[in-house]
């Protein structure tokens, strides 16, 4: 029987961001699917044991995000009575620092440690130090100096940073959970190269991410963080009902059953997503951002109040999204290196325009700015450039980064960058809702087929002294 922990050497794990290229809002309903692309912008988690003198035992985990000011969280943990699992308590890292909560870290920590102790009841949970690093594309760079490496020092508190909408919370929970499981459990019980272990990670990350959000979301962002690009059908929300809170009686047993034994009805199809080598996905940050939960609530209220119109639009969108995915796959499996670009991408361009038209219909009917006029103007200008196939406001829409599909040619990318560098919303597009788009720039990201993975701990050494 396995009772020993792993070697407790430093470990590092990363998980990709995401873009829901097609299926925004539809993916909330199990009757529909979403086309989600992983992005090569990753959240990295480095974990190492806290070394102590002989005989000294600490029950403490320190979490740092060294790219941001005052981003330190310290937690005490203890095993609760009545099979309650591991209870996590935030400690004050310093008298000089405010006690700010991070529900995603705190919840993921409680869930992962509870699962670990439920799997190996006699396993000692040694104290550890965890550092979280985000690739620079997750946040708008508002400083005067350009980033000098993939990890930018943002010189501001985390909660003041402008997110670009790449799915940082799902990538964080996934990589954080994977790092804890990899660090504390022996390889024969958890191995990121094993499909069964990926299922455990997916289930556990979904459960803790939903708990941290305070609601059961569709989960496509966690799916792409674990598996990379995929066609996704959500799980039934009822799966995450009734298993309790960390520390409550029998929480440990219920959580382990949910993760290891409960049949999840998620559908994740990696083979359904292919991108031809002649194309690439780029993201354009508008330095503004949307409040997604409020938008989703309003769209769902509209769907309830006008089910006939909503069903008509949703069914049409599902058909258009499926046709778009099929055309992408067709191009990827045929010879797209020859022939006139204007001809071979005609169907793909038409499908993108059809999807955008239906999205604007949904915007108008629900009175939610899914593709607001400011974004329409930007996408139309991008799409007019030679070599640009088209673009969408992905996911829930609004003012997050837009996704643009372009020919995989340096001259096309450079022309797009040139357009964005001089882009100004100065023709009245921002008058209706009072939202002003800030600086527009291309993010240094592209599509990513690979999900969560182990990393070399040595690449983070320069950040460990922050």
Residue 19 has pLDDT above 90, yes or no: yes
Q: What mean pLDDT do residues 390-396 have?
A: 93
Instruction: Give pLDDT, residue 235.
Output: 97
The pLDDT-based confidence of 466 (bands split at 50, 70, 90) is low
| Buried b or exposed e, range 20-51, using 16+ CB within 10 angstroms | bbbbbbbbbbeebbbbbbbbbbbbbbbbbbee
What distance in Å separates the CA atoms of residue 250 and residue 247, rounded to the nearest whole number? 8
Residue 4 has pLDDT above 70, yes or no: no
Q: Where in the chain is the domain with CATH 3.30.70.890?
A: 275-446
Q: Which CATH number fits domain 11-270+450-463: 3.40.50.2020, 3.40.50.2300, 1.10.10.10, 3.30.230.10?
A: 3.30.230.10
Residue carrying structure tokens 């290196």: 337
Residue 150 has pLDDT above 90, yes or no: no
pLDDT tens, position by position, 409-418: 999 999 999 9
pLDDT tens, position by position, 126-143: 999 999 999 988 887 655
Answer with the residue of higher pLDDT: 419 or 163: 419
Residue 242: count of CB within 10 angstroms of its CB: 8
What distance in Å separates the CA atoms of residue 284 and residue 406, rounded to the nearest whole number? 12
CA-to-CA dists, residue 170 to 202, 229, 451, angstroms:
11, 14, 12
The mean predicted confidence, pLDDT, of the chain is 88
What are the backbone angles phi and psi of residue 48, rounded to the nearest 5°?
-145, 155
Can you read off the two tokens belonging to residue 386? 């030679």
What distance in Å separates the CA atoms of residue 69 and residue 159, rounded to the nearest whole number? 10
Whether the CB-CB separation of 265 and 131 falls below 8 Å is answered with no
What distance in Å separates the CA atoms of residue 437 and residue 425, rounded to the nearest whole number? 7
Answer with the residue of higher pLDDT: 136 or 12: 12
What are the backbone angles phi and psi of residue 106, rounded to the nearest 5°?
-60, -45
Instruction: Give pLDDT, residue 337.
Output: 53
Task: Give the alpha-carbon dihedral of 240, 243, 246, 247, to 10 degrees.
Answer: 170
Residue 381 has pLDDT above 60, yes or no: yes
What distance in Å separates the CA atoms of residue 150 and residue 462, rounded to the nearest whole number? 12
Q: What is the share, in percent, of the chain residues with pLDDT greater than 70?
A: 87
Answer with the residue of higher pLDDT: 333 or 365: 365
If we measure between CA atoms, which residue out of 38, 21, 147 comes closest to residue 451? 38
Instruction: Give pLDDT, residue 315.
Output: 97
Instruction: Give pLDDT, residue 200.
Output: 98
Residue 170 has pLDDT above 60, yes or no: yes
Instruction: Give pLDDT, residue 39.
Output: 93
The pLDDT-based confidence of 11 (bands split at 50, 70, 90) is very high
Q: What mean pLDDT do residues 191-203 have?
A: 97
Q: What mean pLDDT do residues 269-279 have?
A: 87
What are the backbone angles phi and psi of residue 257, rounded to the nearest 5°?
-65, -45
Q: What mean pLDDT do residues 74-89 have?
A: 94
Residue carrying structure tokens 């941001």: 68
Q: Where in the chain is the domain with CATH 3.30.230.10?
A: 11-270+450-463
Answer with the residue of higher pLDDT: 436 or 463: 463
Instruction: Give pLDDT, residue 279.
Output: 94
What distance in Å separates the CA atoms of residue 388 and residue 280, rounded to the nearest whole number? 10
Structure letter (DSSP) for residue 459: G
Q: Are strands 128-134 and 60-64 parallel, antiparallel or unpaired?
A: parallel
Residue 427 has pLDDT above 80, yes or no: no
pLDDT tens, position by position, 206-254: 999 999 999 899 999 999 999 999 999 999 999 999 888 999 999 999 9
The angle formed by the CA atoms of residues 161, 167 and 168, to the nearest 5 degrees, is 50
pLDDT tens, position by position, 316-357: 999 999 999 999 989 988 754 555 555 789 999 999 999 999
Residue 425 has pLDDT above 90, yes or no: no
What distance in Å separates the CA atoms of residue 195 and residue 373, rounded to the nearest whole number? 44
Whether the CB-CB separation of 406 and 282 falls below 8 Å is answered with yes
Q: What mean pLDDT do residues 407-427 have?
A: 86
What distance in Å separates the CA atoms of residue 104 and residue 172, rounded to the nearest whole number? 8
Instruction: Give pLDDT, residue 220.
Output: 96
| Buried b or exposed e, range 199-238, using 16+ CB within 10 angstroms | bbbbbbbbbbbbbbbeebbbbbbbbbbbbbbbbbbbbeee
Instruction: Give pLDDT, residue 293.
Output: 63
- For the chain, state the CA radius of gyration: 23
Q: Is 199 left (phi over 0), alpha (psi -120 to 50) or beta?
A: alpha
Residues 6 or more apart whose Cβ sits within 8 Å of residue 273: 35, 37, 229, 230, 231, 325, 328, 329, 449
Q: What mean pLDDT do residues 355-372 have?
A: 94
Can you read off the two tokens belonging to residue 241? 């009902």
Length of the chain: 466
* Alpha helices by DSSP H, 367-452: 373-383, 410-421
Residues 6 or more apart whose Cβ sits within 8 Å of residue 315: none
Q: Which CATH number fits domain 275-446: 3.30.70.890, 3.40.50.300, 3.20.20.140, 3.30.1490.20?
A: 3.30.70.890
What distance in Å separates the CA atoms of residue 146 and residue 143, rounded to the nearest whole number? 7
Q: Give the end-to-end CA distance of the chain in Å, rounded to a whole number.
A: 40
Residue 164 has pLDDT above 90, yes or no: no
């Amino acid at each position: 029987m396995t009772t020993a922990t792993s070697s407790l050497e430093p470990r590092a794990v990363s998980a990709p961001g995401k873009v829901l290229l097609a299926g925004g809002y539809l993916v909330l309903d199990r009757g529909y699917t979403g086309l989600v692309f992983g992005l090569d912008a990753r959240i990295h988690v480095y974990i190492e044991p806290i070394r102590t003198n002989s005989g000294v035992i600490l029950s403490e985990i320190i979490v740092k995000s060294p790219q941001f000011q005052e981003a330190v969280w310290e937690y005490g943990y203890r095993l609760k009575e009545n099979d309650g699992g591991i209870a996590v308590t935030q400690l004050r890292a310093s008298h000089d620092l405010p006690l700010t909560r991070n529900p995603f870290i705190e919840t993921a920590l409680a869930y992962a440690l509870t699962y670990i102790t439920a799997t190996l009841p006699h396993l000692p949970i040694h104290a550890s130090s965890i550092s979280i690093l985000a690739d620079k594309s997750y946040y708008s760079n508002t400083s005067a100096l350009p980033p000098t490496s993939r990890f930018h020092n943002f010189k501001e508190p985390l909660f003041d940073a402008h997110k670009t909408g790449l799915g940082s919370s799902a990538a964080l929970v996934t990589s954080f959970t994977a790092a804890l499981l990899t660090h504390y459990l022996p390889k024969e019980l958890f191995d990121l190269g094993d499909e069964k272990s990926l299922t455990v990670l997916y289930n556990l990350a979904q459960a803790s991410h939903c708990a941290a959000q305070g609601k059961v979301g569709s989960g496509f962002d966690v799916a792409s963080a674990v598996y990379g690009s995929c066609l996704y059908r959500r799980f039934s929300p009822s799966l995450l009902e009734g298993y309790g809170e960390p520390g409550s009686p029998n929480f440990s047993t219920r959580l382990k059953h949910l993760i290891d034994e409960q049949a999840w009805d998620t559908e994740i199809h990696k083979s359904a997503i292919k991108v031809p080598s002649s194309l690439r996905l780029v993201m354009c940050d508008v330095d503004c951002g949307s409040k997604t939960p409020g938008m989703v609530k309003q769209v769902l209220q509209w769907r309830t109040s006008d089910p006939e119109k909503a069903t008509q639009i949703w069914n049409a969108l599902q058909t258009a999204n499926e046709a778009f995915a099929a055309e992408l796959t067709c191009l990827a499996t045929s010879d797209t290196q020859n022939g006139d670009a204007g001809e071979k991408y005609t169907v793909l361009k038409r499908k993108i325009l059809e999807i955008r038209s239906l999205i604007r219909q949904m915007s108008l009917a629900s009175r939610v700015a899914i593709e607001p006029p400011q974004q329409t103007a930007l996408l139309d200008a991008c799409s007019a450039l030679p070599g640009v196939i088209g673009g969408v406001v992905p996911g829930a829409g609004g003012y997050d980064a837009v996704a643009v599909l372009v020919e995989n040619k340096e001259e096309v990318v450079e022309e797009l960058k040139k357009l964005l560098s001089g882009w100004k919303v100065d023709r009245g597009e921002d008058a209706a809702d009072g939202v002003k788009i800030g600086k527009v720039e291309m993010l240094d990201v592209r599509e990513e087929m690979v999900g969560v993975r182990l990393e070399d701990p040595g690449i983070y050494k320069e950040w460990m002294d922050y």
